Amino acid sequence: MIEALQYQFFQNALIVAIFASLAAGIIGTYIVVKRMSLISGSIAHAAFGGLGISYFLNANPLIGGVVFSLVSAMTIAIFKKKAGNRLDTLLSFLWATGMAIGLVFIFLTPGYATDLFTYLFGNILLVSKMDIIMIGVLDIVILAIVFLMYNSFLSVLFDEEHSETRNIPITIVNVILFGLIALTIVATIRVVGVVLMIAILTIPAATAQLFHKTVKKIMITASMITLFAAITGLCISYYLNFATGPIIVLIISSIYVVSIFLSKLSVPHFNWAFWKS
Amino acid sequence: MKRKEIIKLEDVSFSYTNEEFLKNINLSIYEDDFLGIIGPNGGGKTTLLKLILGLLNPKKGKISVFGDTPRVGREPIGYLSQFKDIDFDFPITALEIVMLSRVGKKLFKRYSKQDRQAAEKALKSLGIWNLRDKKLNELSGGEKQRVFVARALANDPKILLLDEPMLNLDIHIQEEFYEILKKLNKKIAIVIVDHNLEMLSKYAKEIVCVNKCDTHTIRYHDVGKIKMKEISHD
């Protein structure tokens, strides 16, 4: 571990792990309490289209990722109400079309598509200086907006209709929230990739929700779980020479399973007699 | 002394599709009203409240709320929507819910001391200050209902619009709740949608029926002091 810390690439990976964990834990909490995991899955896969185009143009892939995820997030935010029951059709469309665009451009790019795998499944050990700066900026934007708009977000997420009667600008709040989801997805693509994204955005928050009453506390615990999983996964990946994404997701999933068991145990009226009989 | 009119609907019609759903509604609500709204299921009671709140726009006619359009004038309205629209598993405490009615227009809202005091007052007036740190799904049905009424009260409203707040509550809790409303009615107007005509005829000063009311039912429950009128005709 100490020896690994001497390497620049390992330091970079560690910094990105911290940034991504904070964003994923906080925005993931909103995704879980409002049951928006399919929406985030759709945005993540749509972002892959942008990654492919950037890759083809030899630009930083995260730039294309930001554009595609923001556009798809805004499309969902705007048409969510109109689509009603048909929302899943829109989500499937963005999900598959984004993937298809990304794949086409990656196959069009000359040479062997080594990076394909890392964007699909994540490899935090391969981040560049530029990635760190971009992810750092995204993180600051996400944290600042959530801090400032915490009460507006809570009101709109909990009860949109009541918020409207209290004159909260719900459309603006929703658009900003979806923008944050999009940015968070881009900030975490390096860590777990688009396919495993849903795990890092939802499972830590779902775990934290077992133990806490408020959104604020769930955010803190979810970020801690993600951070722990990211750093542990990073070390395991380094020594086993294995992609980080799947390892991190497996750690997160294990914590969830153990937590469900623990939360059942701590129920005060747990019926021990049932087990004895 | 002349009663002040706070909400007025003139010839209001509304439709979700091509077929008119509410037709030529005329209704005045006064500052000291205790108004019960009855009518068949799916008959437009909720729609009527949503029109007053500016959540829906009328197809025809004029709605005036505190002398303005609903969207501009709705600030002094406390609203309790139907419970079926609420996610009870949402991680939020009773106090947090009540505070939400103090958020308002500002995107970067920080709660002031005044906001906290208003929430405390609202929770205390319903006798549930001790439940403030309970999570929503830890509360009983009656407690949940009081929390949502406290939210509606935390903004010092001049009128409460309550949409079937009594659904699935046992009869003692309903009676307790109507007593609370009676007290509140000394200062503010109450408009309540409820199916329990027995309760309404005991507490409401006036009852209106929205759309296709069964006249037989009305006559049966018509108590001397209650003025009953139908506000929508086919």
Residue B215 belongs to a domain with what CATH number? 3.40.50.300
Strand order in the sheet with B206-209: B77-80, B159-163, B189-193, B34-38, B206-209, B227-230
Chain A residues lying within 8 Å of B155, measured CB to CB: 166
* Among A149, A158, A214, beta carbon nearest to B100: A158
Residues 6+ apart with CB under 8 A from A224: A25
Strand partners, B209: B38, B230
Chain B residues lying within 8 Å of A149, measured CB to CB: 107-108
* Among A152, A167, A218, beta carbon nearest to B91: A218
pLDDT at B214: 45
pLDDT at A218: 97
* Amino acid at position A154, single letter: L
Strand partners, B62: B10
Answer yes or no: is B43 within a domain. yes
Give the CA distances from residue B120 to residues A105, A164, B99, B114, B132, in Å, rounded to whole numbers and listed in that order.
59, 23, 9, 10, 9
Whether the CB-CB separation of B114 and B165 falls below 8 Å is answered with: no
pLDDT at A268: 52
- Closest to A236 (Cα-Cα) out of A257, A250, A222, A223: A250
φ, ψ dihedrals at B141, nearest 5°: -55, -45
For residue A240, with 0-12 CB atoms within 10 Å meaning exposed, 13-18 middle and 19 or more buried, which class applies? exposed
Other CB atoms within 10 Å distance of the CB of residue B192: 27
Hey, are the CB atoms on B100 and A173 less than 8 Å from each other?
A: no
- Closest to B9 (Cα-Cα) out of B46, B64, B54: B64
* Among B85, B87, B105, beta carbon nearest to A167: B105
Asked if pLDDT for residue A38 goes beyond 50, the answer is yes
- Closest to A224 (Cα-Cα) out of A41, A32, A17, A34: A17
End-of-domain residue from the set B136, B156, B176: B156
| B163 and B68 together in one domain | yes
Mean pLDDT, chain B, integer: 87
| B165 and B197 together in one domain | yes
Chain A residues lying within 8 Å of B111, measured CB to CB: 151
Check CB contact of A247 with chain B, cutoff 8 Å. Answer: no
| B57 and B108 together in one domain | no
Tell me how many residue pairs between chain A and chain B have CB atoms under 8 A apart.
80
End-of-domain residue from the set B101, B131, B156: B156
**Residue B61 belongs to what H/E stretch?**
strand B60-65
Which tokens sit at A81? 């109400």
| B54 and B93 together in one domain | no
| B173 and B72 together in one domain | yes
| Helices vs strands, H then E, count in chain B | 8, 9
Asked if pLDDT for residue A271 goes beyond 90, the answer is no
Asked if pLDDT for residue A254 goes beyond 60, the answer is yes
Chain A residues lying within 8 Å of B77, measured CB to CB: 165
* Among A151, A172, A213, beta carbon nearest to B109: A151
pLDDT digits (tens, 9 = 90+) for B75-129: 999 999 988 878 999 999 999 999 999 999 999 999 999 999 999 999 999 999 9
User: Distance between CA A147 and CA A142 in Å, rounded?
Assistant: 9
| B51 and B167 together in one domain | yes
| B218 and B175 together in one domain | yes
Other CB atoms within 10 Å distance of the CB of residue A34: 17
Hey, are the CB atoms on A148 and B108 less than 8 Å from each other?
A: yes
Asked if pLDDT for residue B226 goes beyond 80, the answer is no
User: Distance between CA A132 and CA A126 in Å, rounded?
Assistant: 11
Dihedral of CA B88/B93/B94/B97: which sign?
negative
Mean pLDDT, chain A, integer: 90
| B150 and B177 together in one domain | no
Question: How many Cα atoms within 13 Å fall on the side-chain side of residue A87?
Answer: 17
| B26 and B137 together in one domain | no
DSSP SS3 for B66: coil
Domains held by chain B: number: 2
pLDDT digits (tens, 9 = 90+) for B21-79: 788 888 899 999 999 998 888 778 899 999 999 999 999 999 999 999 999 999 999 99
* Among B103, B111, B155, beta carbon nearest to A168: B103
End-of-domain residue from the set B132, B156, B180: B156
pLDDT mean over B144-170: 91
What residues make up the domain containing B187? 1-76+158-234
User: Distance between CA B202 and CA A96 in Å, rounded?
Assistant: 60
pLDDT digits (tens, 9 = 90+) for A98-157: 999 999 998 898 876 667 788 888 888 888 888 899 999 999 999 999 999 999 999 999
| B177 and B66 together in one domain | yes
CATH code, residues A2-264: 1.10.3470.10
Buried b (16+ CB within 10 A) or exposed e, B129-167: bebbebbbeebeebbbbbbbbbbbbbbebbbbbbbbbbe
Whether the CB-CB separation of A61 and A235 falls below 8 Å is answered with: no
> B89, B100, B131, B132: which to substitute to probe chain A, counting the most A Cβ within 10 Å?
B100
Which tokens sit at B226? 């209650």
Answer yes or no: is B186 within a domain. yes
Interface confidence (ipTM) of the complex: 0.89
Q: Which pTM value belongs to this model?
A: 0.90
| B70 and B165 together in one domain | yes
pLDDT mean over B188-214: 85
| B121 and B192 together in one domain | no
DSSP SS3 for A209: helix
Answer yes or no: is B142 within a domain. yes
Answer yes or no: is B83 within a domain. no
pLDDT at B207: 87
A232 min Cα distance to partner chain B (Å)? 29
Hey, are the CB atoms on A159 and B105 less than 8 Å from each other?
A: no
pLDDT digits (tens, 9 = 90+) for A145-204: 999 999 999 999 999 999 999 999 999 999 999 999 999 999 999 888 999 999 999 999
